[in-house]
Amino acid sequence: MNDFSFTAFEQRVGQPFLMRIAEDIQIELSLLECTNSQRAGGPPGFTLHFAGGPDAPPSQGTYLLSADGFDEAPIFLVPLRRTAEGLEYHAVFSQSDEG
């Protein structure tokens, strides 16, 4: 089972992830950054910042991501900007204070 905590992703910064964009097509993303994004009085949360290559899809959406020790899981990615190398994305996670 995957660990979707800030600490778990923070330990994966710099590691490659595979992004499934079609049944038989995957591209590599690199996890650039894991940032605590909790606001005063708000629920705990964090943001992931990924970089993809020139074939990275320009559309926001839910993509299946996987990595060594991280089973394929759906994560909603939003494109941030196009770079000379490809496209950058972010994913935002918030966690309930309950249970």
pLDDT at res. 79? 97
Which helix (H) or strand (E) covers residue 28, if one does?
A: strand 25-36
Going from N- to C-terminal start, the domains of the chain cover 6-94
pLDDT at res. 99? 43
Read off the pTM: 0.88
Closest C-alpha among 5, 7, 93, 84 to residue 49: 93
* Averaged pLDDT in 10-residue chunks for the chain of 99 residues: 88 97 94 87 87 95 95 96 96 72
pLDDT at res. 94? 87
One-letter identity of residue 69: G
pLDDT at res. 98? 52
Q: Assign 35 to helix, strand or coil.
A: strand
pLDDT at res. 43? 76
